[in-house]
Amino acid sequence: MEHVCARTNYDPGDHVTDTALRELADDPSSRKRFFKMIGGAGAVSAFGVVLAACGDDDKDKASSSSDSTSAGSGDAKADNASDLKIVNYALTLEYLEAEFYKQVLESGMVKDKEIGELAKSIQENEQEHVDALTATAKKLGGTPAPKPKTKFEGVISKGPKTILETAADVENLGAAAYLGQAGNIKSKEVLAAALAIHTVEARHAAALNQLVGRGFKAKKGQGSIPDGPFAKPMDMAAVLKAVQPFIAS
Amino acid sequence: MTSSRLVAPELTTIEVQGLTREAFLLRATLAAGATYGALSATPYITNALAQEGGGDVDILNFALTLEYLEAAFYTMAVKQVKGLSADEAKLAKKLRDDEDAHVDELTATIKKLGGKPAAKPKVAFAGAFASRAAFLKTSNALEDTGVSAYNGAAPSIKSVEVLAAAGSIVQIEARHAALIRLARGKSPAPLAFDKASMMDEVLKAVQPFIKA
């Protein structure tokens, strides 16, 4: 997962990643529109790199598990599989968040009443996100990602300051993670759901940043409004690497 | 083999950058009107999907009008509101600067798409600057409305680039809303799913601030 498009059995001949992307590559008018949109010759090479670097080795697996009869190439099926991956990625992050707050509340380490109430309300939000994403994964015909085994003990034992700083970090990551996926989501319904969660994560992040004394800009750029007027997205690989310490193998 | 440290096999595949949303939007594999598990998640989806028609330029101009409104609001607030704490005054200035930057960005994006940026609206905020409480309350309403406006319009955006721009702005609006809500002693995130509002709802909400 350190490599953005690392594939174990990547084979561009057999595994067409993203049908829409391939079509775009083959369709001069779409391509022209795209290049006009982002305006620059640099786009040509970027486009080539994306195509060359990314394959989808899970497509066949995902298709066969959800539908073993249809032999059609199925753009809809590929889109579905792609959205399912994103939904399950988000679900894993939400599981981590919900579990973190749950353990924090159970630990009794947070004595401050107001902070405890905030933690509880955030925990409830995250649990609702877990429920909604689980339902969405099922709706897409997939298997929801399992609840990860976590390791937050180290953080929680260090007390309220570390707990809140970690919470802030995780919420900032969450917001950046959703922002990083918005453009990749194919279904409007899934996009609407992701956006509705995205801004809630951002609210949590801003509140927690404020609470731990991070101003508008703080260390590592994680202030309450961390990136100035425009929030920055993070890709899946970077987010997963950042949450790695909290996942027990 | 996938790394054993990963929690879900799905996570081993990394996103492919989409290029235009246009192709994608036509392919929603779910029936329109499909509901999502959590009941509380349904209204925002219905609203977001009810919003069709117009193009990216229309959506951007809609957003630009809101940002103009917010920018004007904070520009006036910074000069007029008395009784803000030092932190609150700093926040008001920060919000003004952010909204100004959003106005500039949206204007530039509209021009890049070959569109004509909406004119700056004439505004009137009545008693919103009369006191700290009045200012915070109006600010809270504006920011929450901004979030719901972007969330409602974003799924209809066709270009991935425009969607990315809108996403990076709405996250900041949500952060603004949370900070203002905290200043008011309110929950920063009152809902697990932020609302998605349709354009006419948003326009109705901001109507009182716009002079005909």
pLDDT, one tens digit per residue, over B28-72 is 222 222 223 333 344 455 555 555 446 899 999 999 999 999 999
Per-residue confidence band for A216, with pLDDT thresholds at 50, 70 and 90: confident
Q: What is the DSSP letter of A182?
A: G
pLDDT at A228: 87
- Percentage of chain A exceeding pLDDT 90: 62
Return the biggest CA–CA distance within chain B. Answer: 64
**Subunit contact A8:B2, Cβ cutoff 8 A:** yes
Whether the pLDDT of residue A64 is over 50: the answer is no
pLDDT at B28: 24
pLDDT at B65: 95
Whether the pLDDT of residue B15 is over 90: the answer is no
Of A56, A189, A207, the CB nearest to B182: A207
- Per-residue burial over B173-204, b if 16 or more Cβ lie within 10 Å, else e, is bbbbbbbbbbbeeebbbebbbbbbbbbebbee
**Subunit contact A233:B168, Cβ cutoff 8 A:** yes
Mean pLDDT computed over every residue of chain B: 80
- Cβ contacts (< 8 Å) between A118 and chain B: which residues? 187-188
**Subunit contact A20:B18, Cβ cutoff 8 A:** yes
Of residues B29, B40, B66, B80, the one with CA closest to residue B142: B66
Return the biggest CA–CA distance within chain A. Answer: 62
Tell me how crowded residue A147 is: count the other CB atoms within 10 A of its CB: 16
Per-residue confidence band for A39, with pLDDT thresholds at 50, 70 and 90: very low
**Subunit contact A37:B20, Cβ cutoff 8 A:** yes
ipTM score assigned to the predicted complex: 0.78
Candidates A3, A189, A246: best to mutate against B (most CBs of B within 10 A) is A189
Q: What is the DSSP letter of A149?
A: P
Please tell me if residue B193 touches chain A, with a CB cutoff of 8 Å. yes
The predicted-structure confidence for B89-112, as pLDDT tens digits, reads as follows 999 999 999 999 999 999 999 999
Nearest-Cα distance to chain B for A124, in Å, is 8
Of residues B57, B73, B45, the one with CA closest to residue B143: B73
Please tell me if residue B86 touches chain A, with a CB cutoff of 8 Å. no
Whether the pLDDT of residue A72 is over 50: the answer is no
pLDDT at B120: 95
**Subunit contact A207:B179, Cβ cutoff 8 A:** yes
pLDDT at A102: 97
Looking at per-residue confidence, does B168 or A2 come out higher? Answer: B168
Of residues A184, A181, A183, the one with CA closest to residue A92: A181
Structural domains of chain B, ranges and CATH numbers in brackets: 3-187+198-209 (1.20.1260.10)
Please tell me if residue B108 touches chain A, with a CB cutoff of 8 Å. no
With contact defined as beta carbons under 8 Å apart, do A139 and B34 qualify?
yes
Query: From its phi and psi, is residue A228 left (phi > 0), alpha (psi between -120 and 50) or beta?
Result: left
Concatenate the DSSP letters of all residues of chain B into one string: ---TT-S-GGGGSPPPPP-BHHHHHTT--SPTT---SSGGGHHHHHHHHH---S-HHHHHHHHHHHHHHHHHHHHHHHHH--S--HHHHHHHHHHHHHHHHHHHHHHHHHHHTT--PPPPPPB--TTTTSSHHHHHHHHHHHHHHHHHHHHHHGGG--BHHHHHHHHHHHHHHHHHHHHHHHHTTS-S--SSS-----HHHHHHHHGGGB--
Query: From its phi and psi, is residue B20 left (phi > 0), alpha (psi between -120 and 50) or beta?
Result: beta
Kindly state the average pLDDT of the residues A77-106.
Answer: 97
Whether the pLDDT of residue A86 is over 80: the answer is yes
Whether the pLDDT of residue A29 is over 90: the answer is no
Looking at per-residue confidence, does A66 or A181 come out higher? Answer: A181
Kindly state the average pLDDT of the residues B170-193.
Answer: 97
Of B1, B29, B179, the CB nearest to A206: B179
Candidates B2, B3, B5, B19: best to mutate against A (most CBs of A within 10 A) is B19
The predicted-structure confidence for B116-150, as pLDDT tens digits, reads as follows 999 999 999 999 999 999 999 999 999 999 999 99
Per-residue confidence band for A76, with pLDDT thresholds at 50, 70 and 90: confident
**Subunit contact B37:A135, Cβ cutoff 8 A:** yes
Kindly state the average pLDDT of the residues A172-179.
Answer: 97
pLDDT at B62: 94
